[in-house]
Amino acid sequence: MGKKIYKRYIIVMLLLAAGCFFLDPSVIWAQKLTHTVQKGDTLWDICENYYGDPNLWPKLWQMNPFITNPHLLEPGDIITLFEQEPVKEVSEVKAAEKEPPIKEEEPAVKEEEPKPGVMGIDVGKFTNVNALGFLSLEKIIPWGTVFESENENIMLAEGDIAYVIFDEDRDIKVGDEFSVGRSSPLLKNPVTGEDLGYTFQVNGKLKIEERLGLAHQGKKFYDKKNVFETKVVEVYEPVSIDDSVLPYTSFSSCVLPVSMNKDLVANIVASKGQMTLLGHNSIVYIDLGLKDGINRGNVFDVVEASIVKDPKPGEEGSLLFKSHIILPDRPLGKIMILESRPDTSTAIVLSATEPFSTGIYITDLSWAETPDFLLSIANCPVK
């Protein structure tokens, strides 16, 4: 009888020991922790739920490099969590995801405090984002042309009526908005000297008011579908007769800085207004774009190549005669991409230690954690 009791005692103790092992949180946390993204999740929310500190989101983003936008997560994605003592057990959070909240019969009405989101840089404080313009490597084909004004004025102001004739194959509707501006002559690449392309300067914005449609030739009247009355709703630079019209594109002035995922060297090849000296807040154009991996929010260093004459060249006639020494690049400033097209990009100069001109080199700026100089000017929530 005593032996049976002793065997049962041994079995119970072994079961208790095994239970403690499997329930030990340190053993659980030795395993790789993950979170399955639910609809509406952000890295901010996930850090707040697991660690009680939403400001840890950059560290979580760093651990999950497949995430391209930290505030737009795809439901079903698996987020790897970092090993830090959580304020909630993983099982609690996952259970809360699976089980719907219990509805009270008479829930109390409570307004939730607004939750801060991912912070970006408000470039609207430095430039008008609707007047950035762009660089095109091909000739710019406008949708239409301003050919007359209501008061027969050559220069138009905000509120004036302008008449636009569009290409016949364009589908134009009342209420549509268009950028109005002018294309530059063919530009040369300041580095290679070869043909570069054209810049488009945005002077203002038009809104379609109504279709006119009536024309005549000789004694005959006929319907002309591509003539519209428009109103000048915004003016950034003087709008005039013969200005070109292109579809209006709206840009958010709040830009999220994004680390580059590849090594890249490029050149600033043109600037807004064909400025010769560039500096803080200048708008510049690059002859690389989406096809080359450049995206909105990427940051580049502006650098000057430093090459000096070799003070101790080889003997005259040798291959080293009249040689030069390449020194480290000299930093001149930083730029951030505001818009990226397939072959070109538009950027703003965030900082400049001294003026520079087109043709200057830029090199990609990558980071694991957002640099302090960007954090110091981050001042708007990214939507």
Q: What are 26-63's pLDDT values in tens digits?
A: 444 444 588 888 887 888 788 888 888 777 777 787 77
Q: Which of 223, 247, 271 is the last residue of a domain?
A: 247
Q: What span, in angstroms and rounded, lies between the C-alpha atoms of 138 and 52? A: 52
Domain-embedded: residue 270: yes
Query: Three-state SS for 324?
Result: strand
Query: Are both 144 and 239 inside the same structural domain?
Result: yes
Q: DSSP label at 281?
A: T
Question: Residues 236, 283: one domain?
Answer: no
DSSP 172-232: --TT-EEEEEEEPPPEEPTTT-SEEEEEEEEEEEEEEEEE--EEEETTEEEE-TTEEEEEE
Q: Which domain holds residue 327?
A: 254-381
- pLDDT tens series, the chain, 383 aa: 454 555 555 554 555 555 444 444 444 444 458 888 888 788 878 888 888 877 777 778 777 777 776 667 788 888 888 776 555 555 555 555 555 555 555 555 444 444 445 688 999 989 999 999 999 999 999 999 999 999 888 999 999 999 999 998 899 999 999 999 999 999 999 999 999 999 999 999 999 999 987 666 777 765 678 999 999 999 999 999 999 999 998 888 999 999 887 888 899 999 999 998 999 999 999 999 999 999 999 999 999 987 767 676 665 545 545 677 777 889 999 999 999 999 999 999 999 999 999 999 999 988 888 888 888 887 888 76
175 and 240, same structural domain?
yes
Single residue among 207, 225, 247 that ends a domain in this structure: 247
Flag whether 124 is in a domain. Answer: no
- Calculated CA dihedral for residues 63, 65, 66, 67, nearest 10 degrees: 80
Report the phi/psi class of residue 159: left, alpha or beta, with left for phi > 0 and alpha for psi in -120 to 50.
Answer: left
Between CA 346 and CA 160 the distance in angstroms is 30
Instruction: Write out pLDDT tens, residues 196-234.
Output: 999 999 999 999 999 987 666 777 765 678 999 999 999
Question: Based on the domain organization, do 228 and 313 belong to the same domain?
Answer: no
70 and 138 assigned to the same domain: no
In a domain, 170, yes or no: yes
Domain end among 247, 274, 292: 247
Integer CA distances (angstroms), 293 to 162, 264, 265, 290, in order: 40, 9, 12, 5
Q: Within this chain, do residues 233 and 260 fall inside the same structural domain, yes or no?
A: no
Does 272 share its domain with 364? yes
Determine, yes or no, domain membership for 193: yes
Looking at the fold, whether 229 and 277 belong to one and the same domain comes out as no
The answer to whether position 109 is within a domain reads no
Query: Do 20 and 36 have their domain in common?
Result: yes
Q: Are residues 258 and 238 in the same domain?
A: no
Domain count, the chain: 3
Residues 243 and 134 reside in one and the same domain:
yes
Residue 114 lies in a domain: no
Tell me, what CATH number does 294's domain have? 2.40.30
> Is 105 domain-assigned?
no
Per-residue confidence (pLDDT) for residue 26, from 0 to 100: 42
In a domain, 263, yes or no: yes
Same domain, 243 and 259: no
Those residues whose C-beta lies under 8 Å from the C-beta of residue 322, and which sit 6 or more positions away, are: 309, 310, 313
Structural contact between residues 381 and 254, judged by C-beta atoms closer than 8 angstroms: yes
